[in-house]
Structure 1
C-alpha cells in the first residue's frame, strides 16, 4: 500500500510540474516596425506561466542585448524594475533608428525551484523587423542554448506552421522536447483541462521541430535541456535546467 501511495504521489507531482511550465518572457511592443511612430519599442521581461497568467519573481538579468547586422549591443543599463502579473519583472525602452532585423536576448540570473530541486536558466529572445529589411533573421546569436528559426519569425499569420532548430552549445539537439504556450494576456482563452495548458512537440534527429499556431497572439517556444555543470545550493550541487526560449507574434489578417 505504501509503495502504491508513493507511486501515485509521484505521478501527481509529475503531472503538476507539466501543467505549470516555466517560461522566460521577452515581449516587445511590436514585432514589426514600418512607421517612425512605432520605432520606440517597449520591452517587457519576466518569468511566468504565460497561459495561466501566473507571475513569478525575477531577479535582475545577467545580460540583455540586441543584435543586428553582425553587431551586438549591451542594453543591460537600460533595464528598469517593473511589475508583471503582480511579480517583480523588468522593462526597457529601445529606439529603432534604421532598417534591420533586431534580435533581443536576455540571460537571467539562475532561479532555484524548490519543487524541482534544480536551478532554471531560460535564455529568452525575440525578433523585431524594421523598415522593410528582413535579412539575418535565421542567424544564431551564439547563446548557451537557443532556438534558431527556420520559418521567418515575424509577419506570420495565426494558423501558420512555425519551424525552428534547437541548439545547445552551438550544436543541434536531436529529440529535444519543446514546450509551447501563448501569452494569455487578456485571459481570452481557457484550457479545457490541465493537459491543454502546455503544448509539447519533439524535435527530429536534426533538432528541428514544427508547430501549427492555432490563434493570434504572442507564442513562446521553450526547448529544455540539462546542463553538464551544476550549481551549489546550501552546500549541495544541483542540476541546472537550460531553456532556449523564443517569443513570436502571430497575427490575424485584416478583414473588410
Structure 2
C-alpha cells in the first residue's frame, strides 16, 4: 500500500511540474508556405486539435475566415468545404494566387467550450504564405483581438532556425505571456520521450517578445495564451493568439 501511495504521488507531482500534454491549437495549414509559378494554388485545411499527438476535435464553421493581401481583407467563408482532419470535422479551401506577394490567412472560430478545463477557448489563428517568393511588411499586425506578430520572416526558414515573435493583446504587447509550441506530427513520425515534452513552453519577456528554435522540419504552431477580461456564463475565456510557420530542410545537391 505504501509503494502504491508513493507511485501515485510521484505520478501526480510529475504531471504537476510537467504540465498537461493536451494543449489545444487552432490549425490553419496550407500545403506549402511558398508558392511557385509552376503551381499557383494550394489547399488550406482548418481544424482544431492536439497537433503533436494527432488527436482531433470537431471544428464548427468559423465565425470568420479571410485572407489579407496588401492591406485588403477578403472573406473566404463562402468558399469553405467540409473535410476531415484527424478523423474530425474540419474545413478546407483551394486558394489560387493571382499576384505575387504576401498572403495572411486568418481564422476566428466560434467559441469552444472545454469541460475538462471548465472554460471557453477562442484561438485567433493565422498563417502566412509567400506567393512567387515575394512579400514585404510581414511584421505588420492585422489588428485583431490578439495575435503573434513575427519578428522573424514567417516563411523561407530552415529547420533549426530561431523564430521570434511579439504577442499583442488589444493591439498592445502582452508581457510575460506563456507561449505553447508544438510540431504538427502529421504522420506520427516522432514520439516525445516524456509527456511534458509534447508541448514546449516559453515565456515572453517584458516587451511581449518570445524566442524559440525549431529543431525539425515541418509545420510549427505557436499559441500565446491570455485570459479574456470577460467571462461566458460565469466561466473564464482563454484567448489564444496562434501562428503557424513552416520550417524547411536543407536539400542535397
Is TM > 0.5 for Structure 1 vs Structure 2? Answer: yes
Q: 1:191 to 1:117 in 2, by over 3 A?
A: same
Q: Determine helix, strand or coil for the equivalent of 2:239.
A: strand
Counterpart for residue 31 of structure 1: 33
Q: 1:10 to 1:230 in 2, by over 3 A?
A: farther
Counterpart for residue 242 of structure 1: 239
Which runs of 4 or more aligned residues in structure 1 lie more than 4 Å from their structure 2 counterparts after TM superposition? 8-17
Please tell me whether the aligned partners of residues 44 and 90 of structure 1 are also in contact (alpha carbons under 8 angstroms): yes
Shift of 1:34: 2.0
Q: 1:154 to 1:35 in 2, by over 3 A?
A: same
| 1:98-149 deviation per Cα after TM superposition (whole angstroms, max 9, x unaligned) | 0110000000000000010000000110000112322121111111100000
| 1:191-248 deviation per Cα after TM superposition (whole angstroms, max 9, x unaligned) | 001011000000000000000010100000000000011112xxxx111000000000
Aligned residues: 247
Shift of 1:10: 7.6
TM-score after normalising by structure 1: 0.92
Q: Determine helix, strand or coil for the equivalent of 1:19.
A: coil
Shift of 1:95: 0.7
- Matches of 1:148 and 1:247 in 2, distance apart? 11
Counterpart for residue 121 of structure 2: 120
TM-score after normalising by structure 2: 0.93
- Matches of 2:246 and 2:80 in 1, distance apart? 22
Q: Tell me, which stretches of 5 or more residues in structure 1 are unaligned?
A: none
Q: 1:120 to 1:15 in 2, by over 3 A?
A: farther
Superposition RMSD on alpha carbons, in Å? 1.9
Shift of 1:28: 0.6
Counterpart for residue 69 of structure 1: 70
Q: Tell me, which stretches of 5 or more residues in structure 2 are unaligned?
A: none
Counterpart for residue 253 of structure 1: 250
Q: Determine helix, strand or coil for the equivalent of 2:20.
A: helix
Please tell me whether the aligned partners of residues 34 and 133 of structure 2 are also in contact (alpha carbons under 8 angstroms): no
Please tell me whether the aligned partners of residues 28 and 125 of structure 2 are also in contact (alpha carbons under 8 angstroms): yes
- Matches of 1:117 and 1:17 in 2, distance apart? 17
Shift of 1:60: 1.0
**Aligned counterparts, 1:213-228, within 5 A:** 213-228=214-229
- Matches of 1:204 and 1:113 in 2, distance apart? 29
